[in-house]
Structure 1
Amino acid sequence: MTRQRTYGGVSAEERRAQRRNALLEAALEILGTEGLDRLTVAGLCTRAGLNERYYYEQFDSREAVLEAVFDAIAEELAAAVLRALLTAPADTRGKAHAAVAAGIGVLTDDPRKTRVALLVSSSSPELRSRTTHNIKAFANLVAAEGIDFYGITDAEPDPAIGFRATYLVGGLMQTLASWSQGDLPMSRDQLIDEITEVFVLLGEDLAHRIRHA
């Protein structure tokens, strides 16, 4: 049986995870402050304080780094939204506001993450596909929360639920992109309030339609 060496109480697996986190944090910093052209193996390893062999231990291409950073942001977003929903007020507007504020907070509290999300979404066909996949995942989350909140129990959910959830998530991302580029002259609180209103209007309208179908 192969035994993993432990140094200072840290296993080989934990050290590997630490190196991966260091590389991802370095990639976030480079992408978020300097841009895609500055993301090189040498530059990434220098910023992370690691030998280049540790890069190849984790990644086989620059796209793999981009995917990993993007996925980490998506996971953080999902976790923040779900935590917010657990403690949100029980009314429609309260839940929508809590979820929207949590998601936008993750991205705008650290502007590097907004820049990376927008950068990845347009870097290559493969990464655009990754963006589409994540939008679908968040749309599924929105749809599931809406079905649960409004008590929709149909065996075959109305396809409009998926459509509106996708429209909301995609629209939110495009709106955030415009806002971050200065095209929408409003504060973050105003942005959150306006997006909340759209979520509430589309959600309440559809729930009413389904109940009275």
Structure 2
Amino acid sequence: MSPSRPTASEPSTDRRAERTRAALRDALLARLGSQDLDGLTVAGLCRAAGVHRTTFYGHYDTTESFAVGVLADLVDEAASVTGLDDGSVGEIAESYYATLGGMLDLLDRRRGVYRALFRSSMGSAFREALRTVLRRHLALALAVLGGHGLGPPGQRDLVAAFLSGALASALEAFVEGPPKEIDGEVRAMFDLFPPWWPRLSTRDSPPER
């Protein structure tokens, strides 16, 4: 009798789940480009993704909760900064400036979608998801700054929680406001960070994003 190999099926199952989520995510983003969140149905989303409704409900409760996760994930991806452990303070400032610009670019491109989500019945859930994403990235940023002798003297978790709430509110205000020139918005928002946050070495020449 051949020995069982449970580990062989697990990666296959994971890959299927990833493909299913990717198909649903692509369908969601495509449909949100032409219709409101309130008009999105599980049946329509699954039909567009080529996924059975039973599969959807095996992972998610509603299209709204799925949208919260997907749109928070997009911010998560845009907020990611890597390879800073060996960077100079100036390089760190430029990286975070560019990252903030990437987040605003994302929100600007999908302004109507994010605005609708903030105003929907899932607005509170999305704000919490957004704060969670930003808090994690800010905690990592504070650890990097600490390695350079920068940042607050202690209580990094508390500082990350405070800054994530402030940044999430600023991003919501950006989405709710009229479209503006992005570079000016990035600079204005970057200047709101605490005085100990690293600044750009040349204020008149912000890094390319």
Query: Which amino acid is 1:58 matched to?
Result: H
Matches within 5 A, 1:19-168: 19-79=20-80, 82-83=81-82, 90-91=89-90, 93-108=93-108, 111-112=109-110, 114-124=111-121, 127-139=123-135, 141-142=137-138, 145-146=141-142, 148-149=144-145, 151=149, 152=151, 154-156=153-155, 161-162=159-160, 165-166=163-164, 168=166
Any unmatched runs of 5+ in structure 2?
198-209
Question: Per residue, is there more helix in 1 or in 2?
Answer: 1
Q: Number of matched residues?
A: 190
Contact 1:88 1:95 in 2 (8 A): no
**Structure 1 residue aligned with 2:191:** 197
**Structure 2 residue aligned with 1:172:** 170
Contact 1:85 1:99 in 2 (8 A): no
Contact 1:89 1:95 in 2 (8 A): no
Give the Cα separation in 2 of the matches to 1:34 and 1:19: 22
Any unmatched runs of 5+ in structure 1?
206-213
Give the Cα separation in 1 of the matches to 2:135 and 2:35: 31
How far does residue 117 in structure 1 lie from its aligned partner after superposition? 3.2
Give the Cα separation in 2 of the matches to 1:88 and 1:176: 30
Give the Cα separation in 2 of the matches to 1:55 and 1:85: 38
Query: Which amino acid is 2:113 matched to?
Result: V
Per the normalisation by structure 1, the TM-score is 0.67
Query: Which amino acid is 1:138 matched to?
Result: L
Q: Give CA-to-partner distance per residue, 1:180-205, whole Å, 9 cap, x none.
A: x43xxx31222222222233xx3338
Give the Cα separation in 1 of the matches to 2:154 and 2:8: 53
